[in-house]
Chains A and B, each alone.
Chain A
């Protein structure tokens, strides 16, 4: 109840903080926070929204540019965009930023929305043995089968993994190998990796419009820093795992710090002076979002937690979230000196945190998959979100909005004042209590007496059942049998199914017979006596027989079933079947 009221308050407050500028539920945008940027593409002082759209995830990838509420331009991308950044690559006037789209092993650089440059990741070292084998194949010294065997041998032992070509070759059927070798043998072997994340780093000045280097992380755990103009590799660092999220701060020529969240659940902090990670933060679950706030790093984890760390990897705080994190972004309002972390959650909410305190909550119509906060058009405080269903939401922060930095735990919890739901007792209960007080001894004795009687009755019934073999399990040790009976049908004819099972460990039971006893005026059976086949232990033998009800007076009776052994008069098992009343009339 308390949380509900608090939520209500929050939403009302939040709705007053944001203006709903635009909402297009069918914008058809499939993108992530890493593929979305706000940039003054034309140098006219109006920021556009640039989004790398993953299309269907297979095809139809697009680079979309939005201006105002409309789509400004759309250009086809060649492969899935992994990340996208906007950066200034030179000092030429007018200062229009370029867009770098990372996809696969390439970075496509666009200027003025036109393709400008394509950077390809340096290829990885190829196994020399593999190279050897292929060069032999090229000179037709070995046939495809030998090639296959040699490559398989290499795959299992080699330190350096095989190239795609060899792996693909190994997957082929023998008849396809010949063509494959012919087609590919002339090409040099290459082993390529792909880009997994991209960021920017100021080259030598801290200004807003300074020239920036590109920082890229690759699938095999390398981090490269590229020169902004020549696109040469300025610096290379390596990580123990594949980078996943990246945050870069500082200047390349002075000092920088790259915080990288990796697929193995660790966060590594790289510094200018060493090609290996300087600090390592081991998280207990995968990082989903990584945002730097001032000197601290805020990490959202897949276990519904938000952690704050110093830039040296010391943990500062933990906040628990109500739902899994989908994405995170920084909300920075330098004009007001306000910074917060926006956390998109799977329960259709966006939470705003300042340190560990929840400052505000925004409800969204769908799960948010990417968040971007910044200047859009001419409006500084714009929040752009895309949703799982492909929607685009644009909200503008009201100039009057104030975020109070209230502590998350002020005073005692509200639940403390809620009355305990103690079950009430009736007057009858109190009366009975009084009666028990007065007559406890008599009640106790009566109870003990009845209990003894009950036990006696139960024991008698048990003995009787044992004597007449009425239990569902036979008591004899030589023929341990289990039987149950099922009656099916509405009448006048019923189907009687007896399920008989031999529960012995390994011995079969033979020479058994079944006989029925019933009122012949009421029922007729085709065979009231038959033999049962040999019973293999453990198997269930369903035995069907049909019963015809002769009476139309709506009366029913008991049919007794006896399981007999040849040469013994006492039955092994007895079952009394309470027949249902026949609902249909006999035809004859």
Chain B
């Protein structure tokens, strides 16, 4: 594009008489053209026109400067764009748009406090702007001023019920650990957001129901979301992992195939596929997939945990040891990891370290019966009946508290069987919950736990678990009880659940945190 400046032809129209003053070009005359190129993302042409326009008006054309700054920001030159926006604000101090952009650039530069100040100034010029209130709220989140953030976001919601605002508000409550309020927010989001935004609505509903612990409902909505957008990666992963927890491995695999096509390099996806194979007892394939997941995300402890579990099942104790110790290095406060490590060590004939590992596990554990049961079995096999009895009683205590507080009334049958065997060997356990026959009938009711991350979260029936566990249990055949000479299998398969389940959560929450505002 040539840059020679021609006065607009309007002046050429009339014959130039000597005394006649030339008509001055209107500053805004090419704004429409700049805008047209800008929205079409034809930035090169746009920059050429802007350059020419600024040359003609000697930098007085506010809109040209404004768009130039927007383009620069898109190109990553945030500091320069900020300066341009500031000069726009000087050219037209009455425009809240300019101030909004200045604030946005400051926000992108991480200067949240300065951004808040400018937004407040913009809010003075334009009281009823949803965008200002919303962005102020987001800035406050970054400065950890949650109360002001909440206030601003609520204000934004009063002005306009945008999906983004609901998401951010829910996020604040989750960050503060206030699940109740988060549930309220998602509930109102589900009510208010118009029908059009189905994916958003489903996300909200899923979060809402998951927080309530109503996984069945969440699952139904995931299914609905998938009918509208069958290729939505996050929904597939969430739905697949739910199916997996219910033992529907083939259906889950079908879903994962779709996901693997669109996002072939996702660590959580390959982890879940690996655990599907594990559930179908295709251990080599499971290891292949998990190793790929591990390759894609080497510092994800969940994948290492699953690798450890699968290797234990394959009786590759030396490998299992390495994966588990790697997982422990990444996540040193998790009792189940120590328990699995202890199992590996037991099989590697390292009783001393196994015992230490169990002790660590018991120390860190809060509610997992398996830790105590496995430790008791180990101690019993080591001939330390006294200590074994102690662990057994600890387990009894945990069972009773869980039953009393109604957190969990259904126990894994294999765990029960094992506990009964051990109880018989130790001459204890008559007062355990499952040894009282009358209670089993009413135990079918399942209450929802308020903490979704609790390790004893019941997710449907435990049959799937049982299947996987029986395979996992195979590795302990070498362990002999000295007295009874019957093989006891410390059950570890519950971790299959866990290992899949946290991924589901992380996926759902991930979509929460990926929302961000880009408004110009």
Contact = CB atoms under 8 A, between A and B. Distances in A.
B196 A286 contact: no
- With a 10 A CB-CB cut-off, give which of B3, B12, B41 has the most chain A CB atoms: B41
Given A168-B24, A318-B196, A324-B41, A420 B350 contact: no
A448 to B, nearest CB: 9
Given A78-B12, A79-B9, A196-B32, A56 B1 contact: yes
Interface in B91-142: 93, 97, 130
B258 A440 contact: no
A315 B316 CA distance: 58
B257 A416 contact: yes
A59 B231 contact: no
A490 interface: no
A93 interface: no
Interface in B225-260: 227-231, 253-258, 260
B261 A418 contact: yes
A422 B256 CA distance: 12
A2 B24 CA distance: 59
Contact of B97 (A57, A79, A264): A264
Interface in B41-94: 41-42, 45, 48-49, 52, 57-58, 60, 93
A281 to B, nearest CB: 11
Contact of A104 (B29, B277, B314, B347): B29
Contacts of B4: 58-59
Interface in A329-351: 346
Contacts of B483: none
Contact of B318 (A61, A79, A443): A443
Given A164-B26, A317-B196, A444 B10 contact: no
A282 B160 contact: yes
B485 interface: no
Nearest to B194: A315
Contacts of A183: 21-22
Interface string B337-355: 0000000000111100000
A287 B40 CA distance: 10
Nearest to A415: B261
Interface string B128-164: 0010000000000000000000000000000010100
B289 A58 contact: no
B470 to A, nearest CB: 19
A445 B97 CA distance: 69
B6 interface: yes
A423 interface: yes
A288 interface: yes
B398 interface: no
Nearest to B276: A420
A80 B261 contact: no
Contacts of B284: 425, 429-430
Given A57-B33, A58-B52, A316 B27 contact: no
B262 interface: yes
B39 A286 contact: yes
Given A104-B29, A156-B93, A193-B28, A421 B260 contact: yes
Chain A interface size, as a band, is 35 or more
A165 B8 contact: no
Contacts of B196: 314-318
Given A164-B26, A413-B231, A433-B314, A58 B60 contact: no
B25 interface: yes
B179 interface: no
Nearest to B59: A171
A5 interface: no
Interface in A201-256: 219, 242, 244
B13 A78 contact: yes
Nearest to B283: A433
Interface in A444-459: 444-445, 447
A82 interface: yes
Interface stretch (A184-192, A358-366, A506-514, A532-540): A184-192
Contacts of A302: 39-41
Contacts of B22: 183
A401 interface: no
A447 B35 contact: no
A409 interface: yes
A555 interface: no
Given A80-B30, A194-B26, A315-B194, A57 B49 contact: yes
Contacts of A197: 32
Contacts of A424: 288
A265 interface: yes
Given A164-B26, A284-B519, A444-B348, A187 B21 contact: yes
A409 B130 contact: no
B273 interface: yes
- With a 10 A CB-CB cut-off, give which of B49, B261, B519 has the most chain A CB atoms: B261
- With a 10 A CB-CB cut-off, give which of A156, A196, A369 has the most chain B CB atoms: A196
A56 B5 CA distance: 12
Contacts of B348: 440-441, 444-445
A494 interface: no
Contacts of A242: 31-32, 35
A186 B194 CA distance: 59
B26 A436 contact: no
A425 B260 contact: no
A516 interface: no
Contacts of A2: 261
- With a 10 A CB-CB cut-off, give which of B12, B33, B40, B314 has the most chain A CB atoms: B40
B21 A184 contact: yes
B288 A425 contact: yes
- With a 10 A CB-CB cut-off, give which of B4, B253, B316, B321 has the most chain A CB atoms: B316
B249 to A, nearest CB: 13
Contact of B8 (A79, A315, A318, A440): A79
B35 A415 contact: no
Contact of B27 (A167, A186, A416): A167
A409 B39 contact: no
Interface string A385-424: 0001000000000000000000001001101111111111
B317 interface: yes
A346 B160 contact: no
B93 A440 contact: no
Contact of B10 (A79, A164, A288, A409): A79
A324 B352 CA distance: 65
B248 to A, nearest CB: 15
Contact of B316 (A421, A440, A441): A440
A412 B261 CA distance: 13
Given A219-B28, A317-B196, A440-B316, A104 B10 contact: yes
A70 B307 CA distance: 71
21 contacts: A57-B49, A78-B10, A104-B26, A164-B27, A168-B24, A194-B32, A196-B31, A282-B162, A288-B40, A303-B518, A314-B196, A316-B196, A412-B230, A413-B230, A420-B253, A422-B273, A425-B284, A433-B314, A440-B347, A441-B348, A444-B321
Given A193-B28, A436-B317, A444-B350, 13 more contacts: A2-B261, A56-B1, A58-B4, A59-B2, A165-B24, A167-B60, A168-B24, A219-B32, A286-B520, A324-B41, A415-B257, A415-B260, A416-B254
Interface of B: 1-4, 6, 8-10, 12-13, 21-22, 24-33, 35-36, 38-42, 45, 48-49, 52, 57-58, 60, 93, 97, 130, 160, 162, 194, 196-197, 227-231, 253-258, 260-262, 264, 273, 277, 284-285, 287-289, 291-292, 314-319, 321, 347-350, 518-520
Interface of A: 2, 32, 54, 56-59, 61, 77-80, 82, 104-106, 156, 164-165, 167-168, 171, 183-184, 186-187, 192-194, 196-197, 219, 242, 244, 263-265, 282, 284-288, 302-303, 314-318, 324-327, 346, 369, 388, 409, 412-413, 415-425, 429-430, 433, 436-437, 440-441, 443-445, 447
Closest 9 CB pairs of A and B: A78-B9, A415-B261, A315-B196, A196-B32, A440-B317, A423-B288, A286-B39, A444-B348, A443-B318
